[in-house]
Structures are given as structure tokens and as C-alpha cells.
Homo-oligomer: A and B are copies of this chain.
């Protein structure tokens, strides 16, 4: 985000020409650059770790340039996506090993050069102290060793295993912007000791019940048996696996039925087992994880705040001017220089406006505490009021203000216009459901007209300001394009099109109706605030999926192949998924042949199925049948790590988000706002929505309503307005706010 603005080269020049101010002595370029670097670090939440000399600072700023940053990130991305082309590759896009290896080598070099760059600006001590430099180096070296061994062995005709491939996703964790991802992984690591205790006890109880099942049923083999004649609970290890599967409920009630058929009272064994191992232990797992998660999240946020303030302290120490009373103040002139260095894209008048927000009553100095709010200011967007008039008003003012136009504007702004459109959306959905394709073009025209009218009335900028409008616009345009393509396609091939299912996306407009209802909007907002963090948890799952997929491909690839679809359906020949060992297994009977590890995409689907848990034992037994009993370990470990650990941490995250939002909503409105926000509201610099004619569903407007507690001062209207940034991570933001409220309380009480 911030990279775009720190254009190191242009900085030097600009400082020379502009830093001549009255009052305090101007800062040297180097000091200013150092201070700007600290402020940028505070904003990005990164820990510089650079040496203090001018050359290192310059190198550090270069390092943070978006170009370099993106190159290294793309290199990691390419490295990770190589798995699509390497053996076992996705069909049709397989590449020869020397091509993928060349690309791999190139990526490794790029990542290595990024690491070397770090080495240039950090002191030797700092370089090794960072927890993610050594792992990256080790992974890169291992990759090189691995490539060499693979090529050599291949030359002499031995196919060996590329052992460094499962390590690749760890590079993702070590990337500069993967802070959130690292935080979740750290959280997982910190939770492990507690959860291992619970899981050990859990596994002991499973072992205990397995022994009990063996004792109960082994003398009844002639009376209790599976319907296919298999013996029932006759082997200790099998029992253990069966009961482990039972905790995931995947084989219930089938595993109970033989005993139930023999004697109904035997069901008690299974009921007691499930109560203890499923309802008690799994709830305790969740509780343990939640408890740990909460604690560690708090520590993490405290660390971040401390880090940020530390950076700001350092910046302030450079910029401050000492008063005769021993006080420390920052003069406006230095603020302006700093801002020019940090945000060269902004105008001086904008910097000045933000200064007014920061400083008390147009003072010429701010103190350390006031300076600390600088980070919130940097993310605020400055808007000009005139930008916010509808374009048509500016272009054709007379026409826009004519009587007819005013009538149209009034009509569009009326809530009945929205009701009418909502009705049309429902009617459209009904038509789609009933396959009335003829009505389609009518509705399409209606919705296009709606959008055009809104363009006219509200203006383009304001229209695209609302996420809901963008959503509508994208759907309509996409539907139009697809409809036209479909028509063209049909006129060429005279066949039912391949794109028709994309048309179903039109149904998404129904979401808009739901959004209009208050009770639902709250839930949707929670989902959208979760949505952003979903990326982090998606990343965590991606790392686990990737590692397990590569191991799975090494072990299981090509053991199971999809059956070719034959012309005659009603054949009696059993499906064997290309492996006779699968004969008689549930895997083959359920036709799971496509659930295989033959390429990364199929592997991901299988791993997703394993994450959903149901029927995972059937999948596991299939792969066990084609390999070895020990393959069960792979599936159990996957279940423990992904289902019990990661998914529960995700639940914990959602619980915590709810709790925080709830306790936040109980704080008085003025405490919910940060100091800067309060100031903005007080000064009437809020981006106000009064030029909107009616209550169109405007997510931002609604959000800001909540943030500002509904207080508006419309009498004050400078030519500029401030728009608050939307949080990227809701939980952290809320926690940070809670933490800052707590700190304020502590300070005020001391």
C-alpha cells in the first residue's frame, strides 16, 4: 500500500527545494529520510532492522520499493505454481523437468537476491536474529541440493524424490507481507502444548475403548458380524481406527449396526463412547483452542502496538525541537517536510488540513502524544467536495437543473423506485427458476436503464463509491456480455451453450434484497468482516493443503485412476478405479475413482473432502488398500492438524470477532472512536452523505454512520472532506481499539 508513495529518488530533490522554512533549523535530508522510514514502518507494522547509517536507510527504502517487493512475491508464487507442471502434472500442461527446473532455479535466485539485499542494510547480528531469514536460506539451499541430486540421479537412470517440494509453501510464510499468516501459525504453535495434552488423553480413551470393544466382541464373532460377512471388531488396530473414525462420526451408525442387530443394549457402548470422546473431548478441544487463541491474539496485538509506538518514538526523537522548559515539540514546518517525504503524492494544503486535525486549535507545535496519531492520518483519504457533485451537473448544469430532470431525479431518489427494482429482481429470479427465457431481455433492459438513471442522478463517482452498486453493475455487465456471447455461440453451433450456467450468476442480485433488511444486514456485515480474514485462514489452509498434497502425490499418485466412461451404463462389471486391489472396497463401490492424488488439483479436492470429514474413512481405506496399512497415519495426522487444529482456530477466530464486536457495541459511542476520529467528527470534516437524496443501500455510509455515532455538524463545510479507511483486518483492529481504550483508562486513572 505505502510503497507507491515512497519514491526514494524523487525524494532527495524535493527536500532540497522545499525544506527552507522559518523558525526551527531545517532537518538534514538524512534525518528526514530516517524519520520518514520510521513513520512508514510504523504504518506498515514492520520492524526495520536496518543499520542507522544513511546508506543502509537508502537501501532499506529501496528494498521496500513496490517493484522489488512484487518481484520477490511473484517469484514465490511461480515457485509454488510449478507443481502444476511438474510430474505428476495436471493433464495437458505437463512440462519437461528441465523447463520447470530452469524456472525454479531462476525463482530461487530471485528470492536469494532479495535475501542478500536484506543482508546489505541489516547489521550481521540483526540479520541472523530475525526468525525468518535462516529458514528461507535453509530452504533455498535444500532446494538447490535437491535439484542437483535429482538431475544427477536422473542422468544415471534413477528416479528419485524431489524432497524439497513440500518445503516450498514455507517460503510463503516468510514473505514480508505474510504477517497475519505468520501470526496464525505462531498461534498454532503456542496452542500445541495444551492441545497435545487434551489430544493425548483423547487418544488414550480411544485406545481404551478399542480394547474394550475387542474384549466385548471377540468372543461373539459367530453372532456379530458385518452384513458383508467381515468379522466385527476383531483386531485391536482396526478397532482403534474404527473408533477414531467414529469420533469424526463418519462411520456412524454403520459401525454400530451389527452390534445393534445382535443386542440393542450394545448400543450403549457406542453412545457412551460418543458422549465422552465426541461431545466432551471435542468441545474441550475447541475450548482449549479458543482460550489459547484469545490470549495469544491479545499478546500479538500488544506487540504490534508496542512496535508501532517504538517506531514513532524514534521518528519523533529525530524530528523534535526541545523547548527551553525541557519539553519536546514538533513544529509544523518539520511536519510538512516529513509529510512531503512520506506522502509525496499529497498537496501541501492537504498536509496542512491534516495538521489541523492533529494539532490543538491551529497551534504551531504538537507534542509527542499528538504525533502518535500520525499513522491514523496517513490512511485517511482526502476528498475535494467539488469532486462529489454528479458529473452531469458539472457538464450540463442547465439541463441537469431543468424541470424534467428534477422530476427524474426525484423519482429515482424515491424509495419506491428501489422497491420497484427489488420487485423486478424477484420477478427476474422467478422467471429464471421457471425457465422463462423470453423475459430475460426485458429484465436486462430494465436493469441497464436503472444503472444509467443512477449514473445520471448520482454521478459516476458516487455510484461507484457504493460496493452494492459496483456489485449490481458487475453482475449486469457480465450477464449482458454472457448473453451476447451465448447468442453468438448458439447461432454458430446451434447447440445448448457451455456458458449458460454462468447466467445463473444473475441470481446473485437477490443478495441485494437481503441486504435491504436491517436484521440481515448485521449478519451480512459480520460475514463480510470475516470475509477479509478468510484470506488469512485460506492461506493457512493452503500451506497445509500444499504440503499434504505433495506428500500425497509422492505416495499415492497413479495408484488410482478414473475409470473410462463406457457407452453402456448398465454393465455388471464392477468399477475398480484401475486397481484390482480396490475390489470390494467401499471406495470403488462409491465410485470415488476421481478422488485421487494424480495431480495437484485433484489432490486439493481430495484434501478438501478430507477436511469436510464425511466419508474420509472410505477415502482413507481406498488409499490404504492400494498401498499399506501405514497410510492411515497420513490421514489421521491430516485430520488432527487440519480439522481439529486449524478449523477450530478458525472457529475461535469467529467467536472472538463476535465477542469483540459485542463488547465494542457496549462501549459508549464516543469511546468507540479513536482520538483522531473524534477530532474529525468535531471539526465537521466527515465525508457527509447529505448530497445523496435517499436511503439507497450504501454500505460505507452505513458503516460510517456507526463509526461516527451519527453525530454530524453540517454547518461547517470546508472544500475538503476526509474519508476514513476501511479496516483490512477487523479482529485486530477491534482488539487494537480495545487495547487502546484500556490504555487510556489506565493512564487516566493513574
Are the CB atoms of B284 and A527 closer together than 8 Å? yes
Given A201-B520, A257-B590, A612-B253, does the pair A654, B565 have CB atoms closer than 8 Å? no
Given A524-B201, A658-B287, does the pair A216, B613 have CB atoms closer than 8 Å? no
Tell whether A74 is near chain B: CB-to-CB under 8 Å.
no
From B257, B504, B613, contact of A215 by CB (8 A): B504
Are the CB atoms of A216 and B504 closer together than 8 Å? yes
Are the CB atoms of A605 and B655 closer together than 8 Å? no
Given A264-B594, A279-B650, A283-B651, does the pair A252, B504 have CB atoms closer than 8 Å? no
Given A253-B609, A280-B530, A615-B252, does the pair A288, B602 have CB atoms closer than 8 Å? no
From B216, B286, B657, contact of A651 by CB (8 A): B286
Are the CB atoms of B514 and A204 closer together than 8 Å? yes
Are the CB atoms of A260 and B594 closer together than 8 Å? yes
Apart from A197-B519, A253-B612: 11 A-B pairs, beta carbons within 8 A: A208-B510, A211-B504, A252-B609, A252-B612, A253-B592, A253-B609, A264-B601, A271-B605, A284-B654, A286-B655, A291-B659
How far is B595's CA from A274's CA once the two chains are assembled, in angstroms?
Answer: 18
* Copies per complex of this chain: 2
Are the CB atoms of A657 and B287 closer together than 8 Å? yes
How far is B253's CA from A250's CA once the two chains are assembled, in angstroms?
Answer: 12
From B274, B287, B609, B651, contact of A612 by CB (8 A): B274
Q: In angstroms, how far is the closest chain B Cβ from the Cβ of A571?
A: 11
What residues of B have a CB within 8 angstroms of the CB of A403 in the complex?
none
Given A278-B612, A523-B198, A655-B290, does the pair A501, B215 have CB atoms closer than 8 Å? yes
Among A211, A279, A287, A433, the most chain B Cβ lie within 10 Å of the Cβ of: A287
Tell whether A212 is near chain B: CB-to-CB under 8 Å.
yes
How far is B496's CA from A290's CA once the two chains are assembled, in angstroms?
Answer: 49
Are the CB atoms of B501 and A216 closer together than 8 Å? yes
For A552-579 the 0/1 string (1 means CB < 8 A from B) is: 0000000000100100011000000000
Residue of B nearest to A605 (CB): B267
Interface residues of A in 259-277 (CB under 8 A from B): 260-261, 264, 267, 271, 274-275
Q: In angstroms, how far is the closest chain B Cβ from the Cβ of A577?
A: 12
Given A500-B219, A520-B197, does the pair A283, B654 have CB atoms closer than 8 Å? yes
Are the CB atoms of B615 and A254 closer together than 8 Å? yes
How far is B506's CA from A208's CA once the two chains are assembled, in angstroms?
Answer: 11
Given A211-B429, A291-B662, A569-B229, does the pair A253, B526 have CB atoms closer than 8 Å? no
Tell whether A542 is near chain B: CB-to-CB under 8 Å.
no
What residues of B have a CB within 8 angstroms of the CB of A496 in the complex?
219
Q: In angstroms, how far is the closest chain B Cβ from the Cβ of A263?
A: 10
How far is B214's CA from A507's CA once the two chains are assembled, in angstroms?
Answer: 12
Given A211-B432, A216-B501, A249-B613, does the pair A523, B264 have CB atoms closer than 8 Å? no
Given A287-B654, A504-B212, A594-B257, does the pair A250, B614 have CB atoms closer than 8 Å? yes
Are the CB atoms of B651 and A280 closer together than 8 Å? no
Given A254-B615, A271-B608, does the pair A261, B565 have CB atoms closer than 8 Å? yes
Question: What is the interface size of chain A, counting residues whose CB is below 8 A from a CB of the partner?
Answer: 87
For A321-343 the 0/1 string (1 means CB < 8 A from B) is: 00000000000000000000000
Are the CB atoms of A614 and B614 closer together than 8 Å? yes
Residue of B nearest to A526 (CB): B284
Are the CB atoms of B514 and A201 closer together than 8 Å? yes
From B201, B204, B261, B530, contact of A591 by CB (8 A): B261
Are the CB atoms of B261 and A562 closer together than 8 Å? yes
What residues of B have a CB within 8 angstroms of the CB of A167 in the complex?
none
Are the CB atoms of B658 and A260 closer together than 8 Å? no
Residue of B nearest to A659 (CB): B291
Residue of B nearest to A653 (CB): B283
For A180-196 the 0/1 string (1 means CB < 8 A from B) is: 00000000000000000
Q: In angstroms, how far is the closest chain B Cβ from the Cβ of A90?
A: 10
Interface residues of A in 201-242 (CB under 8 A from B): 201, 204, 208, 211-212, 214-216, 219, 227, 229, 236
From B214, B260, B283, B433, contact of A236 by CB (8 A): B433
Are the CB atoms of B211 and A433 closer together than 8 Å? yes
5 contacts between A and B (CB under 8 A): A216-B501, A229-B570, A283-B650, A283-B654, A290-B658
What residues of B have a CB within 8 angstroms of the CB of A565 in the complex?
261
How far is B257's CA from A609's CA once the two chains are assembled, in angstroms?
Answer: 11
Q: In angstroms, how far is the closest chain B Cβ from the Cβ of A602?
A: 7
For A452-491 the 0/1 string (1 means CB < 8 A from B) is: 0000000000000000000000000000000000000000
Residue of B nearest to A260 (CB): B594
Residue of B nearest to A253 (CB): B609
Q: In angstroms, how far is the closest chain B Cβ from the Cβ of A681?
A: 29
Residue of B nearest to A216 (CB): B501
Among A562, A569, A654, the most chain B Cβ lie within 10 Å of the Cβ of: A654
